[in-house]
Structure 1
Amino acid sequence: MQHPGGNTDDFGIDTISLTGTLQTRLRAARDAGFTQIMLSARDVVGHDGGVDAAVRLVRASGLRVTGFQVLRDFEGLSGHLHDYKVDVAKSMLELCAALGSRVLLACSSTSTHASDDPAKMAADLRKLAMLALPLGVKVAYEGLSWGRTVSEFPQAWDIVCRADMPNLGIGLDSFHAFATQTAIEELDMLDPDKIYLVQLADFMWQEIRSVEERITTARHFRVFPGEGVHSEQVAQWVLRLHALGYRGGYSFEVFNDDYQQMPPATVAARAYRSALWLGEDVLRRSVPIPNAITLRRSAGGARPR
């Protein structure tokens, strides 16, 4: 059932939230009602049956691949370090294309060996985009909140604009924006056609007081949209992006140690409740309390549509 403002098909889950084999995680996502999934390189290269079998599993699942992650610490390097990362990038781009993913996620560098020169970073991302171009892959550049030079999405956007490549755009992550308290109005400077990926997550405390706490929260304590204390911010982010003209995919990137101790079907069902809230309630302009939505869906026995 399609809704005027958006629906649950706009939202996908990241495999990092789920335990089990690649096949188990794909099945859990599909059975919960998702139509798209975000994959990591480890999902493919770590598959017991090999890379080719992993690619076949993904393609046979019927799930659209939202994106492929993650190329780290690429920009700003020189000499043998740069050459090494170019080789890594080529391998990841080939896997990305084989999986049918149109987006490779590249995160801003945390390396102390990387240059902080914006021109150098832009030149390296331009080179990465050129490698991706013949494969039909877009590169989404995301600012990590603990990045050495680029830690917020306005900075990432500046580098993307400097690089000026048709297949280079920006990746957004609500967690990093909330962690750095980047103003939501900064989204208005973006070209919606150059937003290639939006990742969403919530967390359980209002404020992150240090870079160390930021990293720990990001890697162990994220929760699905609507489960934390930033529900209204997540809703406003989605509404702002929709008003801007963004019509691409959203992925729930949720690293959570507790979820790793729960059956993948249970975790995927929790994630799908977030998709219901965002797709059927937030984007239809009413923004009820997420916990009330969860209770209403559970009590009514709502099924994926």
Structure 2
Amino acid sequence: MQLSQFGMDTITLAGDLGAKLEASRAAGFTQLMLWAKDMVNFPGGVEAAAKLVRASGIRVTGIQVMRDYEGLEGTLHDYKVDMAKSMLQICHAVGAPLLMVCSSTSKHASADTGKIADDLAKLANLAVPLKVRVGFEALSWGRNISECRQAWEVVALADHANLGVVVDSYHMLANRSPFDTIDEIPWNKIAMVQLSDFMWREIRSSEERLETARHLRVFPGEGEHSRELADLVRRLHFGGYRGDYSFEVFNDDYLQMPPAMVAQRARNSARWVADQVLRRGRAHAKVKDEVAAH
């Protein structure tokens, strides 16, 4: 596992796009996950923002986030497809290889897995000419898809080469989802891994799940689920995943800190995560050596 696989998410950092790029680069990161609002709110708009990103030398890993897309009908479906096309154009403008799509929370969304799979395949088709991949993530409060296993089931049903699953540690921890789900997903169908933790062992209500998700996450190695996170990353690594990891940490306290200070915390977290895999690798090699010696 290489530190170059890790990057931040701009939602974690205070300041404008330029400050976020600089803090990330100064901390030693070579990649960054952007939110569409970072681009459209930048003075000069998306074109100027894309120019700044290219000049920074930072690699963009994806654009956040398409919400409440799948399972809709009629005018509402057409509207969301139109919004998705706009998001794909933003991805293309900045050279982002991935559009993040999170599972719908809309009361208007169908629970029909065939319909959900068809909608995701449609979006994946739209993304092909722009050389953008679509990553589907299960929100732990999603109306019809709330578990990583369910996200994988509809992605598998869609059976589209340009569509993959986004694994998010927060939602798996919040739902107490079994990590053996990860073993079921082919490594090349994992589009992105998002990592974060939180400061208590249990989520005790739906309100607390939302409050924690949107305001109180922390970096891996700082929270109460270090053992579980280490297990998750090891499963991914030894299962063959060699893609990107993004620290998606919504934290109101971090937004009151200088971006450089927060970025350094993220860098320390990246070293912690990489060390968890390295330790497992050394232990595995030691066992093999001992078996061979006998």
TM-score w.r.t. the length of structure 2 is 0.94
1:262 aligns with 2:257: yes
Q: Distance in 1 between matches of 2:280 and 2:57?
A: 31
Matches within 5 A, 1:121-160: 121-160=116-155
Q: 1:8·1:278 contact (CA, 8 Å) conserved in 2?
A: no
Q: Distance in 2 between matches of 1:149 and 1:209?
A: 20
Counterpart in the other structure of 2:13: 18
Q: Distance in 2 between matches of 1:203 and 1:80?
A: 39
Counterpart in the other structure of 1:276: 271
Instruction: Find the partner of 1:165 among 145, 148, 160.
Output: 160
Q: SS of the residue aligned with 1:223?
A: coil
Superposition deviation, residue 215 in structure 1: 0.7
Q: Distance in 2 between matches of 1:179 and 1:64?
A: 30
Counterpart in the other structure of 1:285: 279
Counterpart in the other structure of 1:253: 248
Counterpart in the other structure of 1:59: 54
Q: Distance in 2 between matches of 1:194 and 1:63?
A: 25
Structure 1 letter corresponding to 2:19: T
CA deviation map 1:172-201 (0-9, x unaligned):
100000000011111100010010100000
Q: 2:46·2:93 contact (CA, 8 Å) conserved in 1?
A: no
Q: Distance in 2 between matches of 1:143 and 1:286?
A: 28
Q: Distance in 2 between matches of 1:178 and 1:7?
A: 24
| 171-180 or 270-279, larger mean C-alpha shift | 270-279
Q: Distance in 2 between matches of 1:275 and 1:138?
A: 25
Matches within 5 A, 1:1-305: 6-279=1-274, 281-285=275-279
Structure 1 letter corresponding to 2:63: F
Q: SS of the residue aligned with 2:165?
A: strand
CA deviation map 1:230-277 (0-9, x unaligned):
111111111110011000000000000000110101100111100111
Structure 2 letter corresponding to 1:164: D
Q: SS of the residue aligned with 2:278?
A: coil
Q: SS of the residue aligned with 1:119?
A: helix
Superposition deviation, residue 286 in structure 1: 5.4
Structure 1 letter corresponding to 2:228: Q
Mind listing any 5+ residue stretches in structure 1 that lack a counterpart? 1-5, 288-305
Q: SS of the residue aligned with 1:171?
A: strand
Q: Distance in 2 between matches of 1:170 and 1:286?
A: 25
Q: 1:55·1:98 contact (CA, 8 Å) conserved in 2?
A: yes
Q: SS of the residue aligned with 1:88?
A: helix
Q: SS of the residue aligned with 2:233?
A: helix
TM-score w.r.t. the length of structure 1 is 0.91
Percentage identity across paired residues of the two chains: 59
Superposition deviation, residue 283 in structure 1: 2.2
Q: Distance in 2 between matches of 1:227 and 1:57?
A: 32
Q: 1:19·1:260 contact (CA, 8 Å) conserved in 2?
A: yes
Q: 1:55·1:99 contact (CA, 8 Å) conserved in 2?
A: yes
- In angstroms, what is the RMSD of aligned CA positions? 1.0
Q: Distance in 1 between matches of 2:155 and 2:60?
A: 23
